[in-house]
Amino acid sequence: MAGNTDGKGPGTRLVGAGRREEWTGQVVNPPVWRASTHLYACEADRKAGGPQGKDGKFYYGRQGAPTQWALAEALTQLEPGAAGTMLYPSGVAAINGALLSVLNPGDVLLISDNSYEPSRVMATGFLKRWGVEARFFDPLDITAYEALFCKRTKAVWLESPGSLTMEVCDIPELTRIAREKDAVSLIDNTWASAIGFPALERGCDISVMSLTKHVGGHSDLMMGSAGAGERYYRALRRTSVQMGNVVSPDDAALALRGLRTMGVRLERGLQSALTIAKWLRDRPEVAAIHCPALEGDAGYDLWKRDFTGGCGLFSFTLADAIPEGRAAFVDRLELFGIGYSWGGYESLALAYDAAPIRNAMAVPCADQGGGAAMSIRLSIGLEDPADLIADLEAGFAELKNA
């Protein structure tokens, strides 16, 4: 068996996490337990049974079975400070499930204005309709952030680096202020995962991930998770059970399989991304690079201080690109697919207008090039970086011709 891997390195912990013998039996991977109905030996046995997690006792399919429990337990073991993890059918479902666990009508939610777009849409859509007031803040302006708190402020939604802007913010300081004001700190930790950013240790109360990205890792799975310490895990669990969230055991087995290799994939993606970002930095077609793990990036110092890893996702802004040129560049790429999502083994490119990225405040953020700037986000996969660079070089040749 995997043995106790507490306190060991990330690779060792990823290999051992969640592999309880009572769930795996005599095989390596937790098998796929497909079940709605769990049968009890006798009436006394049924009465002794409890909901998910309690000594792994069977209850009913909606509370999961050993495959899902193994995944949830693995994620809990990988998140220092976590008491438990809830699984959701997508990352967005995890974001919303976590927010609904801590918010009530009348509350104010402070939300970082570089958050993933569906998080912002939840804040201005469903939550607004539900009586929660969302106030957006610039995560780099701590004074303005602190001034936004009021008696009704219940929670703070964070993401670092921010979606698209790739800005790294000072999570320990932002969460310290939230704690002082009695507000719950939640973070979308999809970019770094618990391996690259131990969110609860850095001051967050609830850490949310889209498992669709790095954990799945093979672009064939949708899932999300939210983990927390004792206090908020109970809130997460209560809300999720009431909402009827359940993930399929087949998907849980895929996520568990992905988890075992996530450490090497993250590290390889990060190293290749750095190689490619350094190459891009010297290209005349590139105005700016947004890659927190690259020395000289605006977020580098905070990344270096707070993070223990990263991944292959970063972006760059084109100098003077016309829309046709940007399209020609992306269309010319052969090894980069054009697609949403990221964190898979294959490289992807996505073009977007760099400003205004901060939709809610309509403030173009510093260093992103103003109104007409155009950016390309790259998700670097497991291909050889030299081949990816050659592909990008061919794209730049096309840009010149457009």
Residues at the interface with ligand PLP (CB under 6 A)? 90-92, 116, 163, 188, 190, 210, 212-213, 222, 224, 341
Q: How far is the CB of 359 from ligand PLP (least distance, A)?
A: 15
CA dist., res. 325 & res. 321, Å (int):
6
By beta-carbon proximity to ligand PLP, the closer residue of 210 and 375 is: 210
Please give the positions annotated as active site. 62, 116, 188, 213
Angle at 199 between CA 314 and CA 51, to 5 degrees: 120
Compute how many other C-beta atoms are within 10 angstroms of the C-beta atom of residue 283: 15
Compute how many other C-beta atoms are within 10 angstroms of the C-beta atom of residue 329: 25
By beta-carbon proximity to ligand PLP, the closer residue of 94 and 140 is: 94
Q: How far is the CB of 341 from ligand PLP (least distance, A)?
A: 6
By beta-carbon proximity to ligand PLP, the closer residue of 69 and 116 is: 116
By beta-carbon proximity to ligand PLP, the closer residue of 12 and 90 is: 90
Q: How far is the CB of 306 from ligand PLP (least distance, A)?
A: 17
Q: Which residue is nearest to ligand PLP (CB)?
A: 91
CA dist., res. 354 & res. 163, Å (int):
12
379: left (phi over 0), alpha (psi -120 to 50) or beta: beta
Angle between helix axes 385-401 and 249-281 (nearest 10 degrees) is 60
CA dist., res. 318 & res. 371, Å (int):
13
Compute how many other C-beta atoms are within 10 angstroms of the C-beta atom of residue 193: 29
Q: How far is the CB of 100 from ligand PLP (least distance, A)?
A: 15
Q: How far is the CB of 211 from ligand PLP (least distance, A)?
A: 7
Instruction: Name the 3-class secondary structure at 338.
Output: strand
283: left (phi over 0), alpha (psi -120 to 50) or beta: beta
By beta-carbon proximity to ligand PLP, the closer residue of 30 and 224 is: 224
